[in-house]
């Protein structure tokens, strides 16, 4: 913004003192069944819509902000170029109604590889979430959200063993309203009884876009191998289609207790048709991914896990600890019969 950076301090609410939690957005639960399917529901007891399995544990409390996010009146935009403190990690997962049986198009034995099934979903729904905490691991405990003004802060501790909330984050009780101009003012009156706070909320949003599901009928590889292979497929796809590598992304989806699928999706909301084009490339797409993972003879000797010549691009650097191009290459060589 004019060479400056504005930092979000909370969730924008509509002006009402009734149903304060609903004034901030829609509340839901993120659940996970024994088959590792993740889905969201208004009920903590809802069975999995994919396999009818019962949910494991209590799940995580989701908050879908209805009116977006807001800066604070007491904090003006900062000059660009300084160090940014990112709170939490944005993660993308397939939503509950995202099934192979509902695919727009299917292609068994994709690229001539027996056992590799690819499905294209036009307008598949993805869930984007941020649980706060560490910006690299994303292993946060949700956010505490003030229902008076919308101020939000990452929780420092998980809920207690009895299911109740932990102690509030430091300095949360003395926060100034996001609508105040003076940061030294208090949002809560000192005689306020009770805490008007939503606890351990995972901030979330839903997005529809075009998605490809690459699913093996056999348990060929561990999740780290598949993630590296998926990232190589993203880079190979953007090369073939002459796109910026940020226009495609990869995630993994648990298909059962033993199997994991690779999800390649358009990062443009609503989809841009890239996934359908890649489905039509078939074997050429897989071969290009193999060339990226293999490279030259010198690359084979010197690169152990990932480098700038293969899969350590900007997006790869964020998840560098997940990358192992040698293991991904072994999976692809086995699939291609080489």
The per-residue pLDDT for range 49-60, each reduced to its tens digit, is 878 888 888 888
Q: What is the CB neighbour count within 10 angstroms for residue 219?
A: 12
Asked whether residue 166 falls in the same domain as residue 251, the answer is no
Report the b/e string of 114-140 with b at 16+ CB within 10 A. Answer: eebbbbbbeebebbebbbbbebeeeeb
Other beta carbons within 10 angstroms of residue 74's beta carbon come to 17
Q: Is residue 119 part of a domain?
A: no
* Higher per-residue pLDDT: 21 or 166: 166
Residue 301 has pLDDT above 60, yes or no: yes
Residues 146 and 235 in one domain: no
Instruction: Tell me: do 198 and 262 sit in the same domain.
Output: no
pLDDT band at 329 (very low <50, low <70, confident <90, very high): very high
How does strand 25-32 pair with strand 60-65?
antiparallel
| Residues in a beta bridge with 64 | 26
Domain count, the chain: 2
**Percentage of the chain lying above the pLDDT 70 cut:** 87
Report if residue 114 sits inside a domain: no
CB–CB of 55/31 below 8 Å?
yes
- The C-alpha atoms of residue 40 and residue 71 are separated, in whole angstroms, by 28
> Is 165 in the same domain as 76?
yes
Domain end call among 175, 204, 233: 204
Going through 131-243 in order, the beta strands assigned E by DSSP cover 143-146, 152-154, 197-216
Containing structural domain, residue 146: 1-92+129-204
Using an 8 Å Cβ cutoff, are 155 and 140 in contact? yes
- Residue 22 confidence (pLDDT): 67
Instruction: Round to whole Å and give the CA distance between 176 and 173.
Output: 9
Beta carbons within 8 Å of 227's beta carbon, 6+ residues apart: 250, 252, 262, 319, 322, 323
Domain boundary among 151, 178, 204: 204
- Report yes or no on 108 lying in a domain: no
Say if residue 266's pLDDT is above 80. yes
Say yes or no: 156 and 289 in one domain: no
82: in domain: yes
Distance of alpha carbon 144 from alpha carbon 147, whole angstroms:
10
* Residue at 289 is within a domain: yes
Residues 198, 71: one domain?
yes
338: pLDDT confidence band, cut at 50, 70 and 90? Answer: low
Residues 63 and 178 in one domain: yes
Say yes or no: 236 and 269 in one domain: yes
Residues 74 and 139 in one domain: yes
Q: Answer yes or no: is pLDDT of 284 > 80.
A: yes
Q: Are 306 and 295 in contact (CB under 8 A)?
A: no
The answer on 251 and 192 residing in a single domain is no
**Same domain, yes or no, for 188 and 226?**
no
* Planar angle of CA 117, 222, 105, nearest 5 degrees: 15
200 and 222 belong to one structural domain:
no
């Amino acid at each position: 913004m004019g060479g400056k950076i504005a930092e979000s301090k909370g969730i924008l609410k509509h002006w009402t003192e009734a149903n304060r939690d609903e004034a901030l957005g829609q509340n839901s639960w993120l659940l996970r069944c024994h088959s590792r399917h993740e889905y969201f529901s208004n009920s903590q007891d809802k069975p999995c819509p994919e396999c009818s399995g019962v949910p494991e544990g209590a799940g995580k409390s989701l908050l879908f902000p209805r009116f977006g996010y807001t800066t604070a009146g007491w904090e003006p935009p900062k000059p660009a170029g300084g160090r940014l403190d990112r709170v939490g990690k944005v993660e993308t997962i397939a939503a509950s109604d995202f099934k192979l049986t509902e695919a727009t198009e299917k292609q068994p034995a994709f690229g001539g590889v027996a056992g590799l099934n690819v499905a294209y979903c036009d307008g598949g729904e993805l869930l984007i979430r941020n649980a706060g905490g560490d910006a690299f691991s994303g292993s946060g405990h949700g956010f505490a959200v003030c229902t008076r003004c919308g101020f939000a802060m990452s929780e420092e501790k998980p809920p207690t063993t009895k299911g109740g909330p932990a102690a509030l984050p430091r300095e949360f009780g003395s926060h100034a309203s996001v609508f105040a101009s003076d940061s030294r003012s208090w949002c809560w009156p000192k005689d306020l009884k009770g805490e008007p706070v939503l606890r351990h909320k995972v901030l979330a949003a839903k997005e529809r876009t075009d998605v490809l599901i690459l699913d093996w009928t056999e348990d060929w590889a561990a999740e780290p191998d598949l993630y590296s292979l998926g990232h190589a497929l993203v880079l190979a796809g953007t090369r073939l289609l002459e796109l910026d590598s940020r226009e495609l992304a990869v995630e993994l989806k648990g298909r059962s207790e033993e199997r994991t699928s690779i999800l390649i999706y358009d990062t443009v909301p609503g989809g841009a048709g890239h996934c359908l084009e890649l489905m039509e490339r078939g074997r050429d797409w897989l071969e290009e991914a193999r060339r990226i993972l293999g490279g030259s003879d010198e690359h084979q000797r010197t690169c152990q896990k990932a480098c700038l010549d293969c899969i350590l691009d900007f997006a790869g650097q964020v998840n560098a600890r997940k990358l192992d191009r040698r293991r991904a290459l072994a999976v692809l060589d086995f699939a291609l019969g080489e």
